[in-house]
Amino acid sequence: MLARISRRLAGLLATLFAASFVIFAAVYAAPGDPAVFLAGGRDKLTPERLASVRAQYHLDEPLVVQYGRWLWDCVHLDLGRSFQYSDQVGDLVSARLPTTLQLVAYATVLFVVLGVGAGILAAVRRSTWVDSAVVGGTTLAASVPSFVAAIALVSLFGVQLGWFPVTGSGTGIAGTLHHLTLPALSLALGALAIISRVTRQAMADAAASDHVEAARASGVPERDIIRRHVLRNALGPIVTMCGLVMAGMLAGTVVVETAFGLSGIGSLLVGSINAHDFPVAQAVLLLMVTGYVVVTTAVDLVHPLLDPRVKEVRPA
Amino acid sequence: MTTLALRPVATGRKGHRRPLGVLIAAAVLALVVLAAALAPLIAPYAPDAIDLSASLAGTSADHLLGTDSSGQDLLSRVLHGARTSLIAPLLLLAVAAVLGVALGVLSAWHGGWIDALVSRITDVMYAFPGLLFTVLIIAVFGTGTTTSVLALGLAFTPTVARYTRSLALSEVRKPYVDAYRVQGMGGTRICALHLVPNLGRSVLGYLVVLFGEAVMSLATLSYLGFGAQPPSSDWGLMVQEGQSAVVQGALLPALVPGTAIALVVVSVNVAGVWAADRLGSQD
């Protein structure tokens, strides 16, 4: 178990080093002088700016040293200055992070409740119209890009019916929930297909086992069979898939926050690219990739706790 | 709760085919391709014809699907937009196919450190969730259709490479490969003339399945302002431009192109899975 954990953590660190190096070294792939690129292009270039960029990124030193210093600064939350917003990048990101995390959390609650619920429904009513409706409906939802879903939801529930606000992130708990409902729903819709399909398959696999047959033969009520024997044994793959989908949603916020005009790190990334503000883009990308890799690794480590049978299988 | 016995889901798709759905999907796709091909002939207006007096008009005989805030006819724009919205995904898949098949076959053929290197590179690319790898490339090289297509092609490459590698691994062990080698044929020639053509069908089926995601990803990039630039009538860009009118109660400018995207992706996914089954099963 300990060997497994340390191997996974070593893999995590290796991936993070490689990914952060790609994000850092991307500056050198850009056409022209890296200092000019980091300062936001030639348009508003001043000698002071250029000097400040050279100092911040240690551009006179070898690449490996530059990367090491940049990573050291990042780990200490010193992410440089944004010239577009004339603010510390760290402050920009930390001011916007809560909105993004709230959005992801809300969307996660939605897709877990709706997706697992639909999957259970489809598994219990297998080969009926309910099953077909769940499979068809969720597949359809997964084929609609999240920004189109966002526009459709805004048109119907925001503009036509006026139930939900169209933009902004609201204040207070009730206000936040109210404002984030449509964004969270557009983010969650695409995940319903994969979650309900995994739930349905995992439950069908668990239901095929002998102990379920034995429980049914000894007259255990069907409701208890589903809950205690089938669902409990199907939990491993379901929780794993939910964790992976949640991790991927960090990237999905880029689109949904833009569609709803939410001020989170996803919309910050889009804004920074359109404004040629590369230090901000670098910081957000690093944060998102780190979050994604950490969460997927955590999911992998939690899996054996839910399903002790997995322990025996050595990861490839 | 009913006392319905739960059985494992059948793994093959054969029992679950819905020919009617596939027919409808194929018909929709045929219509879209036709619309794209005939756009200049059947569109009632030029896609960039501005008529400010008809700004945000609803459906009428003059404008069947209404107009956007500049008074441009939405039907004409959607018809013309079908071209970029279909051709760009094909190009990005072509990029991903060439790179992915090359890397996949190279990995399977050589094995050893080349295989390890390729698989480490794909691992790093997979550390970027969703579109973030593409977004990084666009952040570096700037926005535009060409950058988007190339960046997405690169982002799709590891998926194609992994699939090709898994197929090629069993293919290189087949006797015909040794037979050619005994005849003195070089590795590159065997791969290019015999191995890759033999994998072609399966890879093509896989690309068909990826097409829906390619359409969706490109539309998303255009929507974010990273892809096609105005005055293009790319569907993703049209949704972005029409969004501000939604708040004013004019839904058509965003919903018309949005529906077009969703319709194409749904049809591609339905027809694509069916076609991929066909391509795979006749091997």
- What's the pLDDT tens digit per position in A207-218? 888 888 888 888
* Closest by Cβ to B8, choosing from A15, A154, A205: A205
Q: What is the largest CA-CA distance in chain B?
A: 76
* Closest by Cβ to A274, choosing from B6, B131, B225: B225
Contact A18 B120 (CB under 8 A): yes
Q: Which of B71, B254, B257, B72 is nearest to A159 (CA)?
A: B254
- What's the pLDDT tens digit per position in B26-67? 999 999 999 889 888 888 888 887 878 777 777 887 778 888
Contact residues on chain B for A143, CB-CB shorter than 8 A? 212, 216, 262, 265-266, 269
Q: Which of B151, B152, B168 is nearest to B203 (CA)?
A: B168
Residues B151-158 have a mean pLDDT of 96
pLDDT of residue A294: 94
The residue that leads in pLDDT, A27 or B98, is B98
Q: What is the largest CA-CA distance in chain A?
A: 83
* Closest by Cβ to A124, choosing from B1, B219, B225: B1
Report in angstroms the alpha-carbon separations of A75 from A10, A33, A70, A97, A283: 18, 26, 9, 17, 11
**SS3 letters for chain B?**
CCCCCCCCCCCCCHHHCCHHHHHHHHHHHHHHHHHHHHHHHHCCCCCCCCCHHHCCCCCCCCCCCCECCCCCEHHHHHHHHHHHHHHHHHHHHHHHHHHHHHHHHHHHHHCHHHHHHHHHHHHHHHCCCCCHHHHHHHHHHCCCHHHHHHHHHHHHHHHHHHHHHHHHHHHCCCHHHHHHHHCCCCHHHHHHHHHHHHHHHHHHHHHHHHHHHHHHHHHHHHHCCCCCCCCCCCHHHHHHHHHHHHHCCCCHHHHHHHHHHHHHHHHHHHHHHHHHHHHHHCC
Residues B184-200 have a mean pLDDT of 89
Contact B127 A19 (CB under 8 A): yes
Please, which residues 190-249 of chain A have a Cβ atom closer than 8 Å to chain B?
Answer: 200-201, 203-205, 207-208, 212, 216, 222-223, 226, 230, 247-248
- Contact (CB, 8 A) for A262 and A214: no
Q: How many other C-beta atoms lie within 10 A of the C-beta of residue A161?
A: 9
Contact A208 B8 (CB under 8 A): yes
Q: Which of B111, B112, B96 is nearest to B213 (CA)?
A: B96
Q: Determine the residue of chain A that is closest to B143 in CA distance.
A: A274
Residue type, A213: E
Q: Enumerate the β-bridge partners of residue A87.
A: A82
Distance from CA of A1 to the nearest CA of B (A): 24
Q: What distance in Å separates the CA atoms of residue B91 and residue B88, rounded to the nearest whole number?
A: 5
**Structure tokens that stand for B186 in this block:** 């070089």
Query: Confidence class of residue B15 from pLDDT cuts 50, 70 and 90?
Result: very low
Please, which residues 50-69 of chain A have a Cβ atom closer than 8 Å to chain B?
Answer: none
Query: Confidence class of residue A226 from pLDDT cuts 50, 70 and 90?
Result: confident
Q: Determine the residue of chain A that is closest to B129 in CA distance.
A: A248
Contact residues on chain A for B258, CB-CB shorter than 8 A? 147-148, 151-152
Distance from CA of B53 to the nearest CA of A (A): 24
pLDDT of residue A238: 92
**Structure tokens that stand for B250 in this block:** 């004019």
pLDDT of residue B9: 45
- What's the pLDDT tens digit per position in A51-86? 888 887 878 888 888 898 888 888 888 887 777 777
pLDDT of residue B98: 96
Residues written for chain B: 283
Q: Determine the residue of chain A that is closest to B144 in CA distance.
A: A274
pLDDT of residue B4: 43
Query: What is the sign of the dihedral through the CA atoms of A74, A18, B97 and B161?
Result: negative
pLDDT of residue B40: 84
Report in angstroms the alpha-carbon separations of B24 from B21, B27, B31, B266, B267: 5, 5, 11, 11, 8
Query: Confidence class of residue A310 from pLDDT cuts 50, 70 and 90?
Result: low
A219: helix, strand or coil: coil
pLDDT of residue A50: 83
Residue A181, pLDDT > 60, answer yes
**Structure tokens that stand for A72 in this block:** 């050291």
- What's the pLDDT tens digit per position in B74-91? 888 999 999 888 999 999
pLDDT of residue A76: 84
Contact residues on chain B for A226, CB-CB shorter than 8 A? 1
Q: Which ipTM was obtained for this model?
A: 0.89
**Structure tokens that stand for B115 in this block:** 């295989």
- What's the pLDDT tens digit per position in A262-278? 999 999 999 999 888 88
Backbone phi, then psi, for A90, in 5-degree steps? -60, -40
Residue A88, pLDDT > 70, answer yes
Contact B239 A148 (CB under 8 A): yes
Distance from CA of A186 to the nearest CA of B (A): 14
Percentage above 70 pLDDT, chain A: 97
Query: What is the sign of the dihedral through the CA atoms of A100, A105, A109 and A114?
Result: positive
- Contact (CB, 8 A) for A31 and B140: no
pLDDT of residue B89: 95
Label residue B53 exposed, middle or buried (CB < 10 Å: 0-12, 13-18, 19+).
exposed
Q: Which of A54, A49, A230, A41 is nearest to A126 (CA)?
A: A230
Place of tokens 């409990």: A232
Residue A197, pLDDT > 60, answer yes
Alpha-carbon torsion, ordered A263, A269, A270, A272, to 10 deg: 100
Place of tokens 């219509």: B31
Residue B267, pLDDT > 70, answer yes
Contact residues on chain A for B259, CB-CB shorter than 8 A? 148
A279: helix, strand or coil: helix
Contact residues on chain A for B269, CB-CB shorter than 8 A? 139, 143
Lowest-pLDDT choice from A165-179, A187-201, A290-304 = A165-179
